[in-house]
Amino acid sequence: MQLALFLIFGAIAVAGAFNLLLQRHPINSALSLVVVMMSLAVLYWTLGAEFLAAAQVIVYAGAIMVLFVFVVMLLNAGEEERTRGSRMAYIAGFPGAAAIFCLLSFVFLTEREAFGTTELGQYLGGTISNIEQISTLLFTKLLLPFEVTSVLILVAILGAVVLARKEQ
Amino acid sequence: MVPIAYYLILAAILFSVGVAAFLIKRNIITIFMSIELMLNAVNLTFVAFSHMWHQVNGQVFVFFVMVVAAAEAAVGLAIIIAIFRTRQTLNVDEINLMQS
């Protein structure tokens, strides 16, 4: 069953990513990215990361992508035009991405026996829940990065408010 | 059961599509969305490796990546709004002078 879940939602994620690339209007790209993020949440769940699957849906698909859709509709972005720069980018963009993909897949395929296989479900046998594992690590050993990220979010909020303010 | 290499190859596909979209698209919001796609592909790689090593450190790193991506999205979109207010365009080919 894990193979079926992986194939179905992996195919949906790849289809969403290609749709982001091929659509002309940015609102279609934003909605395909929401599809990618939802299917990635299912893939995180099959890898045993239940907290991250929920956080992906709530934070990424529920907050960040909503922000993107707000900005697309606020700025009334229209369809893209075919300019001279975009044609040149087609010549450089596709081979570059194909080169990166070939390099990464070569490394992953040559080492595929060393990686092993996945087991569906908890890898600690269900004795400790996933959120207890994460919180034990996050609030004891990684407490300082956790607090620093809260300061980072505060700075980001201030920066966003200042940058998007109306000029007076 | 699914080999971990399949998850990594899926993440590589998503990352390459993100790179291609970053280089090809001309709308600045779509370019920003392709950055988010690349970050998601790296998150999938981290979670797959965290499953391989049976440790939870990779998932905590993904948590921090999500937090930083949220902060970056907020500030980046505010910058895009500020650029649109002065240039009245979202095409990166036309935002090519320091002073309009």
Highest mean pLDDT among A67-71, A86-90, A93-97, A121-125 belongs to: A67-71
Token code pair at residue A137: 């690590």
Total beta-carbon pairs less than 8 A apart between chain A and chain B: 252
Residue of chain A whose alpha carbon sits nearest to that of B27? A80
CATH number of domain containing A52: 1.20.120.1200
Domain match, A12 and A46 both: yes
Domain match, A27 and A71 both: yes
Domain match, A24 and A77 both: yes
Asked if the C-beta of B21 comes within 8 angstroms of chain A's C-beta atoms, the answer is yes
Domains of chain B in start order, with CATH, are: 4-90 (1.10.287.3510)
Question: Does B43 contact A63 at a Cβ distance shorter than 8 Å?
Answer: no
Give A83's DSSP letter.
-
Question: Does A77 contact B90 at a Cβ distance shorter than 8 Å?
Answer: yes
B31 contact partners, CB below 8 Å, separation of at least 6? B21, B22, B25, B92
- Measured CA to CA, the distance from residue B18 to residue A165 in angstroms comes to 31
Domain match, A79 and A25 both: yes
> A43 contacts in B (CB within 8 Å)?
7, 10, 44, 47
**pLDDT at position A133:** 86
- Measured CA to CA, the distance from residue A109 to residue A28 in angstroms comes to 33
Helices (H), A23-167: 26-46, 50-55, 65-75, 84-110, 112-115, 130-140, 143-163
Q: Which residue range is the domain that position A132 belongs to?
A: 126-168
- Measured CA to CA, the distance from residue B81 to residue A164 in angstroms comes to 6
To the nearest whole angstrom, how far is the Cα of A154 from the nearest Cα of chain B?
9
CA angle A20, A25, A29 (to 5 degrees): 25
Domain match, A14 and A80 both: yes
Q: How far is CA A62 from CA A31, A37, A68, in A?
A: 12, 10, 11
Domain match, A117 and A132 both: no
Query: Among A163, A165, A166, A167, which would you mutate to test the B interface (most chain B Cβ atoms within 10 Å of its Cβ)?
Result: A163
> B25 contacts in A (CB within 8 Å)?
21, 29, 80, 86, 89
- Measured CA to CA, the distance from residue A57 to residue A34 in angstroms comes to 9
Task: Give the tens place of pLDDT for each residue, A99-115.
Answer: 999 999 898 888 877 77
**Residue B23 pLDDT > 60, yes or no?**
yes
Tell me which residue has tokens 């596909």. B13
Domain match, A161 and A116 both: no
**Residue A131 pLDDT > 90, yes or no?**
no
SS3 A31: helix
**Residue A140 pLDDT > 60, yes or no?**
yes
Task: Give the tens place of pLDDT for each residue, A17-69.
Answer: 999 999 989 999 999 999 999 999 999 999 888 999 999 999 999 999 999 99
Residue A129: pLDDT band (50, 70, 90) is: confident
> A163 contacts in B (CB within 8 Å)?
75, 78-79, 81-82
Instruction: Give the total number of structural domains in chain A.
Output: 2
- Measured CA to CA, the distance from residue A79 to residue B90 in angstroms comes to 10
Interface of B with A in 36-65 (CB under 8 A): 36-37, 40, 43-44, 47-48, 50-52, 54, 56-57, 59-60, 62-64
